[in-house]
């Protein structure tokens, strides 16, 4: 398929999650998100109030993470995080499922954990992070089933901190393992236009990346190159 620069930007959750980032570095990343008109930023929970105020009126949504990055906090703690995040101005939530529970076969507990977060989100978008590099195919399928049964909106590959990142094989498996009402987000290793397009072609509707400027810069350069050579400029890739 082909995608315009704007279409790709509309799939990007610009990740601003590294623990060492200073406020000035966060500001620089927020500027990137606004400049490239991405769908949202995904920020550290403690940054939400500042980011929500700074991005007000820009059209860039504010998301955050829950139970991040390991997924092993209690359900009650995840619910408390959700409520605080929404009060602070977040509108989307990327939660990490309890990976150890999933690998232990405690699927009912995994589903209940997700369901509690979905209930606390009160209609806001919930994406469930699997950390697919830790899972085999059967575990990914079971995670998809638990996520869909719990009422979440997205299945998501990775935190970006677990090693391995997203693979096309895992994305295709996730897309095939949920119904049409559940979307797929790829994160971890999406750092080029070629990779972003491949993930979209595999069935993703959202991309988590900190390489926004690189991806969309490549897209723009291709479009400008077509225009400069006199080719028909459909600004799609």
- Indicate the pLDDT class of residue 26, thresholds 50, 70 and 90: very high
Could you say which DSSP state residue 160 is in? S
**Average per-residue pLDDT in the chain?**
95
Extents of the domains making up the chain: 5-228
**Helix/strand/coil for 122:** coil
Contact 67, 104 (CB under 8 A): no
CA dist 178 and 128 (Å) reads: 13
Residue 161 has pLDDT above 50, yes or no: yes
CA dist 236 and 223 (Å) reads: 7
Contact 28, 49 (CB under 8 A): no
Backbone torsions φ then ψ of 25, nearest 5 degrees: -70, -40
Per-residue CA distances from 170 to 53, 104, 145, 204, 212 (Å): 36, 20, 15, 11, 22
Contact 192, 219 (CB under 8 A): no
- Indicate the pLDDT class of residue 227, thresholds 50, 70 and 90: low
- pTM over 0.75? The answer is yes
**Per residue in 163-192, pLDDT tens?**
888 999 999 999 999 999 999 999 999 999
The pLDDT of residue 232: 42
Backbone torsions φ then ψ of 43, nearest 5 degrees: -120, 165
**Per residue in 78-98, pLDDT tens?**
999 999 999 999 999 999 999
Task: List the catalytic residues.
Answer: 94, 156, 185
- The residue-averaged pLDDT of 86-111 equals 98
The pLDDT of residue 163: 86
- Residue in 16, 67, 69 with CA at minimum distance from that of residue 43: 16
The pLDDT of residue 225: 87
Residues 6 or more apart whose Cβ sits within 8 Å of residue 209: 12, 13, 14, 15, 187, 190, 191, 196, 215
Contact 121, 82 (CB under 8 A): yes
CATH architecture classification, 5-228: Alpha-Beta Barrel (3.20)
- The residue-averaged pLDDT of 42-54 equals 98
């Amino acid at each position: 398929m082909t995608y315009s620069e704007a279409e790709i930007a509309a799939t990007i959750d610009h990740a601003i999650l590294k623990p060492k980032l200073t406020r000035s570095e966060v500001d620089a990343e927020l500027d990137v998100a606004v400049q490239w008109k991405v769908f949202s930023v995904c920020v550290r929970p403690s940054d939400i109030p500042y980011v929500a105020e700074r991005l007000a009126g820009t059209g860039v949504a504010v998301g955050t993470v829950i139970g991040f990055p390991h997924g092993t906090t209690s359900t009650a703690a995840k619910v408390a995080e959700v409520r605080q995040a929404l009060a602070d101005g977040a509108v989307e939530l990327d939660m990490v499922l309890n990976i150890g529970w999933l690998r232990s076969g405690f699927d009912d507990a995994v589903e209940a954990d997700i369901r509690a977060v979905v209930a606390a989100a009160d209609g806001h978008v919930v994406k469930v992070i699997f950390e697919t590099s830790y899972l085999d195919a059967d575990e990914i399928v079971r995670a998809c089933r638990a996520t869909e049964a719990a009422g979440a909106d997205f299945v998501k590959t990775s935190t970006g901190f677990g090693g391995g990142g997203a693979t096309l094989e895992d994305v295709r498996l996730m897309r095939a393992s949920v119904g049409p009402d559940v979307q797929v987000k790829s994160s971890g290793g999406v750092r080029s236009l070629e990779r972003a397009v491949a993930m979209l072609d595999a069935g993703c509707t959202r991309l988590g990346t900190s390489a926004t400027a690189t991806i969309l810069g490549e897209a723009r350069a291709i479009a400008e190159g077509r225009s400069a050579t006199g080719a028909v400029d459909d600004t799609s890739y």
